[in-house]
Structure 1
Amino acid sequence: MAAQPSICDFGWKAIDAELIGVDGKQHRIFDHKRENGLLVAFICNHCPYVKAMIERLVRDAAELAELGIGTVAISSNDAERFPDDSFERMQDFARQHDFPFPYLYDEDQSVARAYGAVCTPDFFGFNGDLGLQYRGRIDASRKVVAPEGTARDLFDAMRQVAETGKGPAEQIPSIGCSIKWKETV
């Protein structure tokens, strides 16, 4: 089922956490912030929306690094009910796509809950002061690979954040598979 996050809550402060990465090391989210900001992307391995855009996220993250913006990706899905999102499969997915950023595992889902993440992909773009400036889509492509010339909503917004500290006033929310929450008793 497709889910869509709420619009950007400008200035909302990023939340730090320590999570294990697919490299087997512990990572603090804030350690990956650069001088002009931080992009936190909630993704997973099996979602068709993520699969369709992952190469663009890898490209955008590499180009954003040149603009002084760091990136982390986080998977929060319930891997017991969705084994394609297991830690081992995360490692394979990151290798397959040559991630230039840490891919972190939010096993207890506390980080996704703290951020209010609702879908994969769900992007949170922060400025150098770690105030939220972008909560939108990567582009208009949805579940298909974007054709050449498709506007790069995420990249353009984060470039604006790098240059001005502020995101665009008009943003189109991301859409994707709902986060697969663990069943609570």
Structure 2
Amino acid sequence: MAVSPPVCDFGAPWHDFTLPDPDGRSYSLDQIKGARGTLVMFICNHCPYVQSVIDRIVRDAKDLQAAGIGVVAISANDVAEYPQDSPERMKIEAEKHGFTFPYLYDETQRVARAYGAECTPDFFGYNAHGELQYRGRLDASRRTAGPSDARRELYEAMIRIAETGKGPEEQIPSMGCSIKWKIA
């Protein structure tokens, strides 16, 4: 079922974390954050919404990193129910697509809950002071990729945040598969 997260809660603070990558190396928010802003993405391996735009995500992440913006991807899905999202498969996915950013596993789902992540992909764009300024979509893509010349909404918003500290007032929410929460 497709889910859209709520609109941006401008100024909401980021949430500190330390999470492992598939090789067991831990990364903290302090290690990831950029001098000009930070993008925290919740994605997963199996979601068709993510798969349709994964190459665009990688392209935009590289460009944002070159502009001084820190980038991280986090997978929080229940791997007991969705083994294709396991850390072993995350490593394969990152290598296959040439991720230039850490792809971390939130096994307890605490980080995803702290951020209020609801779907994959779900994008959280922060300014240099750790204040939320963007919670919109990557571009006009949905379950299938939009036109190749689609406006790069996430990229443009993050560059604006890097330059001004403020995100665009008008934002269109992302859409994707719901986070696969563990049943307590």
Please report the TM-score for the alignment, with normalisation by the length of structure 2: 0.98
Measured on the aligned residues, the alpha-carbon RMSD in Å equals 0.8
Whole-Å separation in 2 of the counterparts to 1:158 and 1:23: 29
Please name the residue that 1:163 is paired with: 163
- 1:76 has 2:62 as partner: no
Q: How does 1:1-185 map to 2 (within 5 A)?
A: 1-184=1-184
Query: 1:120–1:177: 8 Å Cα contact kept in structure 2?
Result: yes
Whole-Å separation in 2 of the counterparts to 1:30 and 1:116: 20
Structure 1 stretch 109-118 or stretch 14-23: which is displaced more? 14-23
Cα deviation per residue 1:23-75 (whole Å; 9 max; x = unaligned)? 43010023111111100000000000000111111000100012110100000
Whole-Å separation in 2 of the counterparts to 1:41 and 1:167: 16
Whole-Å separation in 2 of the counterparts to 1:107 and 1:29: 17
Cα deviation per residue 1:151-176 (whole Å; 9 max; x = unaligned)? 11100100100110100000000000
Whole-Å separation in 2 of the counterparts to 1:149 and 1:98: 22
Other structure's SS at 1:22 match: coil
Structure 1 position 178, deviation (Å) = 0.2
Whole-Å separation in 1 of the counterparts to 2:29 and 2:8: 20
Whole-Å separation in 2 of the counterparts to 1:125 and 1:104: 17
Structure 1 position 147, deviation (Å) = 1.9
- Identity percentage of aligned residues: 58
Unaligned 5+ segments in structure 1 are none
Structure 1 position 140, deviation (Å) = 0.6
Give the 4+ runs in structure 1 shifted more than 6 A: none
Please report the TM-score for the alignment, with normalisation by the length of structure 1: 0.97
Structure 1 position 89, deviation (Å) = 0.6
Whole-Å separation in 2 of the counterparts to 1:44 and 1:52: 12
Query: 1:22–1:102: 8 Å Cα contact kept in structure 2?
Result: no
Other structure's SS at 1:107 match: coil
Structure 1 position 145, deviation (Å) = 2.2
- Residue correspondences, number: 184
Other structure's SS at 1:143 match: coil
